[in-house]
Amino acid sequence: MNQTAPRRSVLYVPATNTRAIEKARNLPCDAIVFDLEDAVAPAMKGQARDNLASAFAAQPFAAHETVIRVNALGTDEFDADLRAAVACGTDAILLPKVDTGADLERFAAAIGAIANGPAPRLWAMIETASAIHHLDGILQAGQRRQVQLDCLVVGTNDLAKETGVYPGDNRAYLLPWLMSVVLAAKRYGMDVLDGVWNDFGDRAGFDNEVLQSCRMGFDGKTLIHPSQVDPANAAFTPSDAATAEAQAIVAAFARPEHAAAGVIKLEGRMVERLHLAQATRLLARLDAIRARRERPGC
- Asked if the model's pLDDT at residue 174 lies above 90, the reply is yes
Collapse the DSSP code of 49 into the 3-class scheme (helix H, G, I; strand E, B; otherwise coil) and give the result: helix
Q: Is the dihedral of CA 175, 177, 182, 187 positive or negative?
A: positive
Longest Cα pair distance anywhere in the chain, in angstroms? 69
Distances in Å between the alpha carbon of 40 and those of 7, 44, 73, 161, 251?
24, 6, 16, 19, 52
| CA 40/CA 18 separation, integer angstroms | 12
Cβ neighbours around 39 below 10 Å, total: 19
pLDDT at 203 over 70: yes
Q: Determine the average pLDDT of the residues in 166-171.
A: 96
Q: State the pLDDT at residue 292.
A: 77
Q: Check residues 32 and 5 and name the one with the higher pLDDT.
A: 32
Domain 9-235 in CATH 1.10.3720.10: no
Report how far residue 64's alpha carbon sits from residue 75's, in angstroms, rounded to the nearest whole number: 29
Per-residue pLDDT tens digits for 214-247: 999 999 999 999 999 999 999 999 999 999 999 9
CB 153 within 8 A of CB 123: yes
Q: Is the pLDDT of residue 4 over 80?
A: no
pTM of the model: 0.93
Please give the average per-residue pLDDT across 144-151, as a whole number.
Answer: 92
For the segment 36-55, what is each residue's pLDDT rounded down to a tens digit? 999 999 999 999 999 999 99
Percentage of the chain lying above the pLDDT 70 cut: 97
pLDDT the model gives residue 1: 38
Share of the chain above pLDDT 90, in %: 89
In this prediction, residue 294 has a pLDDT band, given cuts at 50, 70 and 90, of: low
- The residue among 174 and 295 whose pLDDT is bigger is 174
Helix 273-293 and helix 240-253, axial crossing angle in degrees, nearest 10: 130
pLDDT of residue 90 exceeding 90: yes
* Of the candidates 236, 179, 174, 227, the residue with the CA atom closest to the CA atom of residue 205: 227
The boundaries of every CATH 3.20.20.60 domain in the chain are 9-235
Position 290 scores a pLDDT of 87
The yes-or-no verdict on residue 126 having pLDDT over 60 is yes
pLDDT band at 296 (very low <50, low <70, confident <90, very high): low
